[in-house]
Structure 1
C-alpha cells in the first residue's frame, strides 16, 4: 500500500478510506483491466471469411492484447491475489477465459452451421483453441523466451497452429 500510495500521490489513509482493504483495491484494478483491456477484445467480430482467416484474426487480437504491459501487471496482481484472496483468484481466472473461449466458440459455431467444419464438442474445441492460440504462445514469449514477440513470429506460429486445428475441424 505504501508503494501504491506514493505512486498515486495520496496517503495510505486516503487509499484505505476509498477502497477499505487491499483486496478491494486489487479487485477494482482487476475490474478495470477487464473493462478496458479484455472485454473490448473479446467483443470483436472477425470479418467474414474462411474459418482459418477468422481464427487468425481473433487469435492475433487476443494474443497481442494479452502481451500488453497492462496485462502483464495483471499477472503480477494475480500472484498477490493467489496468496491473499484465493476465492477471488478462481473468479478472475474464470472471467479471463470466458470471453475468449466464447469468441472462439462463436467462430466455430458459424463454421459448423455453414458446413465448413465438423465439431462434436464446440466448448472443448474453443477452449483448446484458446490454449493453443493464446495461452501457449504468450507463455513461450513471456516465460520461456523461445518465441519472438515480433509480428512475423507470432503470425507464423498462429498460422501453423491453426493449420493443425483446421485438420481436426474438418476430419
Structure 2
C-alpha cells in the first residue's frame, strides 16, 4: 500500500478512505483494467454480415487477450473469483462472451432465429479466444502472427457456421435494421 500510495502521489490514508481495504483496491484495479481494454474492442454493427463482424470482434479480443497487462488483469480476476468476491465486481465473469452475445442477439432478432445465445456466445468465445490463446501461449502450436490468427479464426467460424443456423452465411441475406 505504501508503494501504491507513493506512485499515486496520495497518502496511504487516502487510499484506505477511497477503497476501504487492499482487497477493494484490487477489485477496483481489475474492473478498471477490464473496462479500459473492453472500450478498445468495438465493431461496427452495421458493416458486413454476422460472420465478418464476429471475426473482427474475436480477433480484437484475441489480440487483447495476448497482451501482458490483460494476462495480469485475468490473474487478478481469477484471484477475486477464487476467494468468492465476485459479488463485489461490477464486471461480468466473461465480458468477451457478453460482447459476442450482443452481436448474436441483434442478428437473432432480425432473422427471428431462436438459439441459446448465452451458451453460444461463451462457446464462440472459447473457440476463438480462449483456445487460440492457450495454443499460442501454452502449447505453442499456433503462431502469434496476424496470418496464423486470421486463418485459425476463419476456419473456426466456418466450422461453427456448419452447426449453428444463426451463423450460416447463406441465411445472412435478411435486411438489416
TM-score of the superposition, structure 1-length normalised? 0.75
TM-score normalised by length of structure 2: 0.73
**Distance between the aligned counterparts of 1:75 and 1:120, measured in 2?**
29
Structure 1: give runs of 5+ residues left out of the alignment.
none
Shift of 1:89: 7.4
In structure 2, the CA distance between the partners of 1:86 and 1:121, relative to structure 1 (3 Å rule), is: closer
Q: Compute the displacement of 1:139 (Å).
A: 2.1
Map 1:128-167; keep pairs closer than 5 Å.
Answer: 128-167=123-162
1:86 lines up with 2:84 in the alignment: yes
Equivalent residue number for residue 34 of structure 1 = 34
**Matching of residues 1-171 of structure 1 within 5 Å:** 1-5=1-5, 7-8=7-8, 12-41=12-41, 43-83=42-82, 85-88=83-86, 92=91, 94-97=93-96, 99-106=98-105, 108-109=107-108, 113=111, 120-170=115-165
Distance 1:102 1:57 in 2: 14
Please state which structure has a larger fraction of its residues in helix.
1
Say whether the 8 Å CA contact 1:78–1:89 is kept in structure 2.
no
Count of aligned positions: 165
Return closer, same or farther for 1:76/1:5 CA change in 2, 3 Å cut-off. farther
What is the RMSD computed on CA atoms of the aligned residues? 3.1
Q: Note closer, same or farther for the CA distance 1:97–1:59 as it changes in structure 2 (3 Å cut).
A: closer
Q: 1:143 to 1:119 in 2, by over 3 A?
A: farther
Q: 1:44 to 1:51 in 2, by over 3 A?
A: closer
Report the alpha carbon displacement of residue 5 of structure 1 after superposing the two structures with TM. Answer: 4.1
* Structure 2, unpaired ranges of 5+: 169-177
Partners of 1:155 and 1:90 in 2: CA distance: 37
Q: Distance in 2 between matches of 1:23 and 1:108?
A: 40
Separation of aligned partners in 2, 1:147 and 1:107: 32
Matches of 1:94 and 1:102 in 2, distance apart? 14
